[in-house]
Chains A and B, each alone.
Chain A
Amino acid sequence: MDLGSFLVQLLNAVQYGLLLFLIASGLTLVFGIMGVINLAHGSFYMIGAYLAWSLAGKIGSFWFALPVGVLLTVALGMLIEWLLIARLYARDHLYQVLLTYGLILAFEELRGMIWGNDVHGIPVPAPFTGSIPLTETLAYPVYRLWISAVVLALAVAMYLLIQRTRLGMMIRAGASNREMVQSLGINIRMLYRFVFAFGVALAAFAGMISAPVSSVFPGMGGQVLIVSFVVVVIGGIGSVKGALVAAILIGLVDTFGKVTTLELGGLRVLPDLAGMAMYLLMAGVLLWRPEGIFGKRL
């Protein structure tokens, strides 16, 4: 691999990593602050993508569909927290696993009933339709760069929100001591409802803005759920910074796993086992730090 290709692959890796961060950030937030495990996270990603497609079709503009979709999914998240999740805080994680597993099945079927089972695409919205030529054969899509910029901005905003604002203070306090926050007169129930809805909206937002470069199809949520888990495990539960680092690490491992040829004892390991690469990374991290790179010591 020459230097030019290497740099382009590096760009690919970071760009993919940022997208993974976006997808996983909602999961790690809900985990870290509420201690809730949400298997239906992937379903919200799918719902976001389908919303973007159907709203953009109805409204006629992707840019208007985006805020409308976010508002709708915030409402959906609040509803689900109020109706279902709120009843499980006092119980073992097991019931959250179970309930959200049931939601996956239900959402998938509802998606089929509402939107059908066709594959859909959304055109890349103006003004990001073009590509920047890198070599004589290769160009880089502007929209992907735009996604990266949005994700970076979002990461900074999340960091500031949690570290610098009064709301963030409440959130951090809620994460460490539920009773104390409540005794300070802060409405922890509303706080949790807001955080859960925010997590749902983040997943859906990821689905929406990646819809133009990906496509919209049944079962798309299942694919992102597991990789989100790996991001959270490697980064450390509840750590936004950890999720960012982990996502970029996975981006690197995935990208170079696919394009590197590696033979061990006559057996071709890469790229044949590229699908396993991120899991190996995870095993390595767990051996080194069982709580994840930026997780709190257990």
Chain B
Amino acid sequence: MRSDRAATVLLIVVLLALVALPAVAGKYYVQLATKILIMAVFAMSLDLLVGYAGLVSLGHAAFFGFGAYLVALAAPQYQAANFWTSLPLAVGGAALLAAAIGFFAVRTQGVYFIMVTLAFAQMVYYVFHDTKIAGGSDGIFIDVRPDTALFGWTPFDLANFVHLYFVVLAVFVAAYLVLRVVLASPFGRVVQGIRVNEHRMKSLGFPTFRYKLVAFTIAGAVAGLAGYFGAVQYGAVNPEMLGWHLSGSVLMMVILGGMGTLAGAVIGAAAFLLLELVFQGLSEHWQLLMGTTIVLVALFLPNGIAGLAWPLQRGRSG
């Protein structure tokens, strides 16, 4: 109980700090924080699969990138999309794609699932890379940020970096709460039960395929949400946003932070991006540092940073 309260206090302190950030930090740091929050939402969505449902996806960028592409496709070039219609479109579109890919992928298990998700993500990559749907290999610009006008009232301006930051912060908090609720629901418990022992859940009468497919779809939808704001922040979308390097990076974030805890995914996203920045500053051979770090984390930090910080809590609850 006490550690729960401590965590809540910590959470509130962090949130307050995040709200205060634009008042004290310069543009670059606000933009960096925006990016970290977007990637945190992305990482949380993957954690739902990897950490809770036991589905290790190596193609999760497909949904992130698809959400991003839908921003560009929601409006003709040089025109603004409507925020209130394009956002549900992107999230819904990513969910639909996830349901379609999940329909094939969720039938498989273990190593198979890893490879199948990777291969399907590559398929989506090639659709955008090889056709003229959205700019081909060079990608496409979002010339004008989505318009947020609602009955003549414009609550915020997505082209303003401070506004965008607060919108993303709100989306981040909302995504966190929604995932919390999902995980605490009977549905969430079944999904976690499947990870522990699928056969038992099956013999208890749960249609595990359907449960896993729904989890996969929800994760895809949340990744699409992150992708939407990724596209809005960058103002450009390209096929690499669907690529397997991004899928690998986000998986790294989840594990680095500590999978199976949403907070871990958030910590992981921040740590990964900051680590990259530090390494780039250190050496021209920073990829070697990054690669070595990943190897060391895999070997010696299986529970990630969160596992370092809260070993006692884990011991008590388990």
Interface residues of A (CB under 8 A from B): 31, 35, 37, 39, 84, 87-88, 91-99, 101-110, 112-113, 226, 229-230, 232-233, 237, 272-273, 275-276, 279-280, 282-283, 286-287, 290-292, 298
Contact = CB atoms under 8 A, between A and B. Distances in A.
Contacts of A35: 111
Nearest to A268: B131
Given A94-B255, A105-B294, A226 B119 contact: yes
A272 B127 CA distance: 10
B251 A84 contact: no
B135 to A, nearest CB: 15
B109 A298 contact: yes
A101 to B, nearest CB: 5
10 contacts: A95-B255, A95-B302, A99-B294, A99-B295, A99-B298, A102-B291, A226-B119, A272-B131, A276-B127, A279-B119
Which of A37, A91, A291 counts the most chain B CB atoms within 10 A?
A37
A31 B126 CA distance: 27
B50 interface: yes
Contacts of B244: 226
Contacts of B302: 91, 95
Given A93-B114, A94-B50, A298-B109, A108 B294 contact: no
Interface stretch (B16-24, B140-148, B227-235, B282-290): B282-290
A108 B291 CA distance: 9
A110 B114 contact: no
A84 B195 CA distance: 26
Given A98-B294, A105-B287, A286-B104, A226 B122 contact: yes
Contacts of A92: 56
Nearest to A105: B291
B288 A106 contact: yes
Interface string B223-246: 000000000000000000000100
Given A229-B119, A283-B120, 7 more contacts: A37-B111, A39-B248, A94-B259, A102-B291, A275-B129, A275-B130, A292-B112
A104 B192 CA distance: 32
A98 B111 contact: no
Given A93-B56, A279-B123, A287-B104, A110 B288 contact: yes
Given A35-B111, A273-B126, A106 B252 contact: no
Given A94-B56, A97-B114, A283-B120, A103 B129 contact: no
Interface string B125-161: 0110111000000000000000000000000000000
A110 B285 CA distance: 9
Contacts of A107: 291
Contact of B112 (A94, A237, A275, A280): A237
A24 B116 CA distance: 15
Interface in B259-318: 259, 285, 287-288, 290-295, 297-299, 302
Interface of A is mostly: helix
Contacts of B127: 273, 276
B110 A98 contact: no
B58 interface: yes
Contact of B115 (A91, A102, A109, A233): A233
Given A105-B290, A105-B291, A230-B119, A98 B108 contact: no
Contact of A98 (B118, B288, B298): B298
Given A279-B126, A283-B104, A88 B298 contact: yes
Which of A39, A93, A109 counts the most chain B CB atoms within 10 A?
A109
A109 B107 contact: no
B116 A233 contact: yes
A282 B119 contact: yes
Nearest to B109: A298
Contacts of A94: 50, 56, 251, 255, 259
Given A272-B130, A279-B122, A290-B107, A106 B295 contact: yes
User: Top 7 nearest A-B pairs by Cβ distance?
Assistant: A102-B294, A106-B291, A105-B291, A279-B123, A99-B298, A102-B295, A109-B288
Contacts of B108: 286, 290-291, 298
Interface string B40-73: 0000000000100000101000000000000000
B47 to A, nearest CB: 12
Contacts of B255: 94-95, 98
B117 to A, nearest CB: 10
Contacts of A233: 112, 115-116, 119
B111 A31 contact: yes
A12 to B, nearest CB: 21
Given A93-B114, A229-B118, A232-B115, A98 B123 contact: no
Which of B120, B123, B127 counts the most chain A CB atoms within 10 A?
B123
Contacts of A232: 115
Contacts of A292: 112
Given A95-B302, A276-B127, A286 B291 contact: no
